[in-house]
Structure 1
Amino acid sequence: MSQYIRNELEFLLMPLRRFVDVSREVAPSLDGLFEKVYFIIYDELLNPVYKLSEGAYSMPVANTIRRT
């Protein structure tokens, strides 16, 4: 799922010359360990400009990124 979302984000951001990286954080939870996936979006100078959690990815978010 993460790779699919990363590909979609890169496609949307291509005209803006933005790059996407996937970051994973592991945190303890009541059931054991919980892995949270983030998509970090960089500008053309490789400065991080957005950090999206996998659950926050939706068309309104993607449309907002495309317009910026």
Structure 2
Amino acid sequence: MDLNLRKAIKSNVSGNSADQLEATIVDAIQSGEEKMLPGLGVLFELYWQNASEADKDEVLNALEQAVK
């Protein structure tokens, strides 16, 4: 079986509004289920690919503080 997880996740969220994406993210975090991590990873990857250098720096600084 050829499963492209990235493609499937992108397809599932394609066309979602900001509110729907937020609900997906919040639900994934609140559920605490390991199976949700790939979806969050794909969303982060999409964000990263489209972020400006300033946005990336802001995220990296926030992550640095979060992991201290």
Shorter-normalised TM-score: what interval? under 0.3
Q: Which has the higher helix share?
A: 2
Q: Which has the higher strand share?
A: 1
